[in-house]
Structure 1
Amino acid sequence: MEVVVVERPREGVALVRINRPEARNALNGEVRQGLAGAFTDLARDPEVRAIVLTGNEEAFAAGADIKAMAEAGAVEMMLREAHRLWAPIAACPKPVIAAVNGYALGGGCELAMHADIIIAGEGAQFGQPEIRVGIMPGAGGTQRLTRAVGKFKAMMMLLTGKPISAREADAMGLVSSVVPDGEVLETALTLAETIAGMPPLAARQIKEVVLAGADAPLEAALMLERKAFQLLFDSEDQKEGMRAFIEKRRPAYQGR
């Protein structure tokens, strides 16, 4: 059974599904390898303009596979170089939407935070429970979470290990939208389809500037924004988009 399944449900949209239901989609080495390979391939595919990442109705991903690390030592963990398997997701130039049902805990919460937009079901739970098994987040949980919700909310989650509901996550800014559990995937796919219809070069530049600017001084970030804005005026999509607006017709973006 494939632990990571890639589908093409709509034009311009790829769906990446974690498929380990017997383990609540826990992120073992095989899953991480599969995700890294999928995102590497999709990043290079010109037909894909937006990506939806999901699990199943019970769990997005319930964390790392504890059995695979319980007896590991520091050197062994270092030599596994797990961070290299996260890199293709973090560096994906295309918009990524996480469709979250059920548990998004530990590595699952970190995985969701690699996305650009998070659509959560009303029954979803988010958390970083690593402290409860004697460790701490190791794939961005202390850093992405703090940037998303602020120090005080992040510390509450990190130091207690307690999960929060989708509504709590929405209130603190951790998710983009909360919808009924049965509508999560459809909402994410519809949103991805909308984004896929936008000019892909502009979408790529928006994502790049938002992520790069987040850790830069304001003046440097504004300079990045100006340069990207100016660069897009050399694209065919910019000409097409503005001409279509003037001519009151629907644009046809080609990603050039």
Structure 2
Amino acid sequence: MGTEFIATAVDERGVAEVVVDRPPVNALPVAGWYALADAVTGLGRDPAVRVVVLRARGRGFNAGVDIKELRDEGAIVEVNRSCFTAFAAVYECAVPVVAAVHGFCLGGGIGLVGNADVVIASQDAYFGLPEVDRGALGAGTHLSRLVPGHRARAMMYTCATATAAELHAYGSVLDVVPEPSLRARALEVAGEIAGKHPAVIRAAKEAFNGIDLWDVKRSYRYEQGFTFEMNLSGVTRQERFGLDTDTGTGTDTGTGTGTGTGTGTGSDSRSGSGSGE
């Protein structure tokens, strides 16, 4: 289960592609996050693979988790564990990961992109964490790898988004291109990396992780401690589903998919028809 949402391919240069495709907004269930982690980890272990391109089809890159799974109070543990595993797989992949982002990149999408080695974005791409509006936290460290610290705090507190152009100005996005050119540009950059000596590139990836100032795994676990506190207190269910903490009743329709690391919003507020190709 979950593998049906993840496709992989490797070309003759050793450039691998991992493609997420789960309509309508690429919000992944627990099985999907684990399948994504397995795909990225497996490619990194393949000596024929020199670099991985992570991208998506459809309206946007990633809208986080499938909120329907979170209606079960106990589901938050496995949902967050699966996100943690996928984020860590990108960070710990033995070869560089190039994220190609189009449309929305929200919640769990920030966890993936914040852990990537190189980010290419389309002109329509935007990034954000709607967690606070859903009574949860998550991926604050990953966001802080994409935007300056004070901007990250403001984005977390207000649930505001940042554009690809802004991230390019900050230096976290390498290139911003028209959406139809996104895949080609990501593969071009990946090809440059694949042309280097594979042993040196793998050593460079390990070295960068070893000197990284951010402990992304520990930080994410620390954040989720507060999410679990809010789940236990009933705040999360009240914010996410509008459920009364005493009666368990509310007005949520149960439709839509999530946009956060255990904090889905129901639907994305912007429209789009990009293919991510």
Q: Report the equivalent of 1:107.
A: 108
2:203 pairs with 202, 205, 229, which one? 205
Q: Summarize the alignment of residues 220-239 of structure 1 with structure 2, pairs less than 5 Å apart.
A: none
Separation of aligned partners in 2, 1:166 and 1:88: 24
* 1:165 paired to 2:163: yes
Q: Which runs of 5+ in 1 are unaligned?
A: 217-256
User: Does the 8 Å contact 2:118/2:173 carry over to 1?
Assistant: yes
Q: CA deviation at 1:3?
A: 0.3
Deviation string 1:8-39 (CA, Å, 9 cap, x unpaired) is: 245211100001023x1112112212111111
User: Does the 8 Å contact 2:102/2:124 carry over to 1?
Assistant: yes
Instruction: Specify whether residues 16 and 148 from structure 1 end up closer, same or farther in structure 2 by C-alpha distance, changes over 3 A only.
Output: same
User: Does the 8 Å contact 2:104/2:127 carry over to 1?
Assistant: yes
Deviation string 1:89-114 (CA, Å, 9 cap, x unpaired) is: 22101010000111111101211112
* 1:19 paired to 2:18: no
2:143 pairs with 142, 145, 153, which one? 145
Q: Secondary structure at the match of 1:15?
A: strand
Separation of aligned partners in 2, 1:84 and 1:126: 21
Q: Summarize the alignment of residues 69-148 of structure 1 with structure 2, pairs less than 5 Å apart.
A: 69-73=70-74, 76-78=75-77, 81-82=81-82, 83-137=84-138, 141-148=139-146
Q: CA deviation at 1:65?
A: 1.5
Q: Report the equivalent of 2:6.
A: 4
Instruction: Specify whether residues 90 and 201 from structure 1 end up closer, same or farther in structure 2 by C-alpha distance, changes over 3 A only.
Output: same
Specify which structure has the bigger relative contact order, considering alpha-carbon pairs within 8 angstroms and separated by 6 or more residues: 2
Separation of aligned partners in 2, 1:159 and 1:70: 24
* TM-score normalized by the length of structure 2: 0.71
Instruction: Specify whether residues 12 and 79 from structure 1 end up closer, same or farther in structure 2 by C-alpha distance, changes over 3 A only.
Output: closer
Q: Secondary structure at the match of 1:178?
A: strand
* TM-score normalized by the length of structure 1: 0.76
Q: CA deviation at 1:207?
A: 1.7
Q: Provide the identity percentage.
A: 36
Q: CA deviation at 1:79?
A: 5.1
Separation of aligned partners in 1, 2:167 and 2:71: 29
Q: CA deviation at 1:62?
A: 1.4
Instruction: Specify whether residues 127 and 10 from structure 1 end up closer, same or farther in structure 2 by C-alpha distance, changes over 3 A only.
Output: farther
The residue identity in structure 2 corresponding to 1:78 is V
User: Aligned residue pairs: how many?
Assistant: 210
Q: Summarize the alignment of residues 179-190 of structure 1 with structure 2, pairs less than 5 Å apart.
A: 179-190=177-188
Q: Which runs of 4+ in 1 moved over 6 A?
A: none
Separation of aligned partners in 1, 2:141 and 2:205: 18
Separation of aligned partners in 2, 1:8 and 1:87: 22
Separation of aligned partners in 2, 1:157 and 1:109: 12
Q: Report the equivalent of 1:54.
A: 55
